[in-house]
Amino acid sequence: MAFSIGGATLESRFFLGTASYPSPEVLGDAIRAAGTQVVTVGLRRQLSGGAGAGDFYRMVRDSGAHLLPNTAGCTTAREAVTLARMAREMFGTHWIKLEVVGDEYTLQPDPWELVEAARELARDGFEVFPYCTDDLVTCNRLLDAGCRILMPWGAPIGSGQGLLNPTALRTLRARLPDVPLVVDAGIGSPRDAVQAMELGYDAVLVNSAVALAHDPVTMARAFRLAIEGGRLAYEGGIMAKQDMAVATTPVTGRPFVL
């Protein structure tokens, strides 16, 4: 199941967010249960300091996972670019999850500011993981700006609504067959992750659905198994749906197709 993204070869297709866990210990256990090799970290959280900030960073770093800093909270391209450059210095990585929010109610990305920021960061040597909507035109603009990866939402951040527009996500996969696609935001249960993987997506990023579960560690393991199963189903080739019943046991001829 190994795949390449951002210049790295990964075995796990489960990206895990690190916010809102009951404790650092629970987060550490969830990371291990998830088997994740990519964890997101918020730079604003590190800059704000507070009790345990240093311990949090050391714990995440010691997990051995790739760090994917994000620009959560930014509303302009200039702000996001500045924060991304600070993240590169602080975390020692050229990976950045680019977030530029245009609406504070839905937390929907601002496509114009997002593309502008992506273009500048790509020129500056970043591997940009842009959080975007499922709009094909916006996604193509991001690719033109220098992005090699896309992270379309399934639903608004933290909503747990699942994949609200699977048709649009299916279209993205069909039109951009060679682009790594990661469903980011809105996933509420392992069932949603299975659906994303069966659509042929390369990975999913989950935070709230694990962090806010009654038992985050058990939920992390559930997502791990669901993502593995969904990917195997995609690779195995899911049978086409039929309008009518089709007998599975032949009444004449041979029982096997040779």
Catalytic (active site) residue 97: yes
Name residue, tokens 């090799």. Answer: 37
User: Which one-letter DSSP state was computed for residue 219?
Assistant: H
Q: Which residues have C-beta within 8 Å of that of residue 242, sequence separation ≥ 6?
A: none
Of 109, 146, 115, the residue nearest 131 (C-alpha): 109
Helix axes 111-123, 77-91, angle to 10 degrees: 40
Kindly give, in sequence order, each residue whose CB lies less than 8 Å from that of residue 216, ignoring residues fewer than 6 positions away: 21, 22, 26, 27, 29, 30, 210
140 is in an annotated binding site: no
User: Does 30 show up as a binding residue in the annotation?
Assistant: no
Helix then strand then coil, in percent of the chain rounded to 5, is 40, 15, 40
CB atoms within 10 A of CB 63: 19
Q: Are strands 8-10 and 3-5 parallel, antiparallel or unpaired?
A: antiparallel
| Catalytic choice (13, 88, 97, 173) | 97
Q: Is 208 annotated as a binding residue?
A: yes
User: Which residues are annotated as part of the binding site for 1-deoxy-D-xylulose 5-phosphate?
Assistant: 158, 185-186, 207-208
List binding-site positions.
Answer: 158, 185-186, 207-208
Catalytic residues: 97
